[in-house]
């Protein structure tokens, strides 16, 4: 519902001086809808992905290979957010980068819709590339709508924007999942392409409401830098082509020739990035200390996401084969479980915000470290809870759907404790030199966690075995307790950050 603002509320030339969107710049509606449709396409496809990979009417792969593919795909999306942000800063500018990203994502979903195993993997690659390009740049454009970091509307604008993420994520499994599972898998992927097409169309039509600076390339590459970048890219691409040509023509090619290098990159690159920042001699002593503390948070977050993101793979595959997916005798599609988290986020996030504010007024709000540790313990507890339906299934019975809903509930509470805190502490502890890059570094924790899951699956570890699930649960709880036990030391390293 549109409202009006006084002329004094924003400076001249700031988007939103005319009609507004819930009191925010009109461009927020454009970005809200773009993100909602992009998340609709992404989460709809993601809900179908592991089920399609194991289905007799799909690729009919074993659960381990399906989990590895899913984990590699998710880790790539977050890994590519860093080069995506680089393209926005150095090559195309945020607005053009998002437009190109939308087109690439749509093309990827259309490729997934083709009934061919060969094109399927190409489609996954295109969606991952497009999502990486879009992820960092669209959030940057939300910030451009406001009159600097002190604009009182800024935090509320991001809250509205993130509601778009959860609305798209909630609706996608219910619509795309139902079509994909009950009608045709490829129709489901095509519906994801339609969702992205709608998002791209309204982005292009509504881009006139965006800030002018969103079209600007902040730090354009010089001619020398551009030539050097293209030369390096061509060399690496040539090495890859030659290597895979040799493997292919020799008859030794298997899917692991793609999965193993990508999972290793998902673990190695985050480590290299952190080491590179930590060893930078231009950082002063307080910045070095904060980075030492940040590594604690990063490792803990990687453990968290390793377990949390199995909600879309390990838990989904278990539900497909071993759960009684019915409510009052009515059977629902397995992909619908993926709507549980976003609807819980929308319901619980305002409650948490109110709760922290109430505790803060009384001087009793838990510290960042305590919240982080609690999130880890809860995600571990969710997998201890997973042991119950696993035991029921091993006894030859179908586990009730509410067991899985309970697991997703505990994980969502853990996410609300850890994820917002992680985003906040990343911005607060970032060295000045790496201020614009640190959000990409935070995303690398997701990459590292999912890549670890991928490596375990490739190694033949059955992630649906009670022993493995118990081991992962114990790891998360121990990590949470360790963060809590060393909270004084971490607090000292954090310096003036609280």
Give tens-digit pLDDT for 171-185: 999 999 999 999 999
Angle at which helices 285-308 and 438-458 cross, to 10°: 40
pLDDT band at 337 (very low <50, low <70, confident <90, very high): very high
Give the DSSP H/E element, type plus range, for residue 410.
Answer: helix 401-429
426 neighbors 439 (Cβ within 8 angstroms)? yes
CA angle 432, 75, 133 (to 5 degrees): 60
Residue-level pLDDT at 357:
83
Closest by Cα among 374, 410, 376, 382 to 479: 376
Average model confidence (pLDDT) for the chain? 88
More confident residue, 153 or 155: 153
Direct distance between the N- and C-terminal alpha carbons of the chain, in angstroms, rounded to an integer: 37
Judged against a pLDDT cut of 60, whether residue 5 lies above it is answered with: no
The pLDDT > 90 percentage for the chain reads 56
Q: Report how far residue 84's alpha carbon sits from residue 287's, in angstroms, rounded to the nearest whole number.
A: 26
Beta bridge partners of 400: 324
* Two structure tokens written together for 35: 């993100």
Question: Strands 323-324 and 20-21, how do they pair?
Answer: unpaired
> Using the 8-state DSSP alphabet, how is residue 365 labeled?
P
110 neighbors 240 (Cβ within 8 angstroms)? no
More confident residue, 408 or 152: 408
Give tens-digit pLDDT for 432-479: 777 667 878 888 999 999 999 999 999 999 998 999 999 999 999 999
89 neighbors 183 (Cβ within 8 angstroms)? no
Q: Report how far residue 368's alpha carbon sits from residue 370's, in angstroms, rounded to the nearest whole number.
A: 6
pLDDT band at 4 (very low <50, low <70, confident <90, very high): very low
What pTM was estimated for this model as a whole? 0.89
Beta bridge partners of 44: none
Residue-level pLDDT at 117:
80
- For the segment 189-207, the average pLDDT, to the nearest whole number, is 94
pLDDT band at 497 (very low <50, low <70, confident <90, very high): low
Judged against a pLDDT cut of 80, whether residue 43 lies above it is answered with: yes
């Amino acid at each position: 519902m549109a409202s009006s603002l006084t002329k004094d509320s924003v400076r001249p030339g700031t988007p939103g001086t005319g009609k507004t969107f819930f009191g925010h710049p009109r461009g927020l509606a454009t970005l809200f809808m773009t993100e909602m449709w992009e998340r609709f396409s992404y989460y709809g496809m993601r809900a179908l992905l592991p089920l399609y990979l194991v289905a007799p009417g799909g690729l009919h792969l074993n659960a381990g290979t399906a989990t590895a593919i899913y984990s590699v795909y998710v880790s790539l999306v977050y890994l590519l957010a860093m080069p995506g942000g680089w393209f926005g800063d150095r090559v195309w500018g945020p607005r053009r980068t998002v437009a190109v990203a939308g087109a690439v994502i749509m093309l990827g979903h259309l490729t997934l819709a083709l009934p061919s195993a060969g094109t399927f993997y190409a489609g996954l690659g295109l969606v991952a590339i497009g999502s990486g390009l879009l992820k960092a740049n669209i959030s940057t454009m939300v910030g451009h709508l406001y009159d600097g970091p002190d604009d009182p509307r800024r935090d509320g604008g991001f809250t509205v924007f993130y509601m778009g993420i959860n609305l798209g994520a909630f609706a996608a499994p219910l619509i795309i999942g139902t079509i994909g599972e009950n009608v045709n898998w490829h129709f489901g992927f095509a519906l994801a392409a339609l969702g992205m097409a709608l998002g791209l169309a309204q982005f292009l039509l509504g881009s006139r409401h965006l800030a002018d600076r969103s079209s600007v390339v902040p730090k354009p590459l010089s001619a020398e830098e551009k030539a050097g970048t293209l030369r390096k890219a061509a060399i690496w691409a040539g090495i890859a082509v030659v290597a895979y040509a040799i493997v292919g023509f020799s008859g030794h090619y298997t899917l692991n020739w793609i999965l193993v290098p990508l999972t290793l990159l998902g673990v190695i690159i985050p480590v290299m990035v952190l080491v590179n920042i930590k060893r930078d001699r231009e950082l002063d002593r307080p910045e070095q200390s904060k980075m030492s503390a940040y590594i604690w948070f990063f490792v803990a977050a990687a453990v968290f996401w390793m377990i949390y993101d199995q909600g879309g793979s390990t838990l989904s595959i278990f539900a497909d084969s071993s759960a009684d997916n019915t409510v009052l005798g009515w059977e629902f599609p397995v992909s619908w479980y993926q709507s549980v988290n976003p609807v819980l986020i929308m319901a619980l996030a305002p409650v948490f915000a109110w709760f922290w504010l109430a505790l803060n007024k009384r001087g009793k709000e838990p510290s960042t470290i305590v919240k982080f540790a609690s999130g880890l313990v809860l995600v571990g507890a969710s997998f201890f809870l997973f042991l119950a339906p696993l035991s029921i299934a091993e006894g030859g019975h179908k586990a009730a759907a509410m067991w899985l809903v309970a697991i997703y509930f505990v994980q969502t509470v853990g996410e609300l404790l850890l994820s917002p805190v992680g985003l906040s502490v990343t911005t607060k502890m970032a060295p000045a030199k790496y201020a614009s890059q640190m959000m990409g570094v935070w995303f690398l924790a997701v990459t590292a966690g999912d890549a670890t899951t991928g490596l375990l699956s490739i190694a033949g570890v059955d992630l649906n075995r009670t022993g493995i699930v118990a081991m992962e649960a114990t790891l998360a709880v121990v990590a949470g307790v360790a963060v809590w036990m060393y909270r004084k030391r971490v607090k000292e390293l954090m310096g003036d950050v609280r």
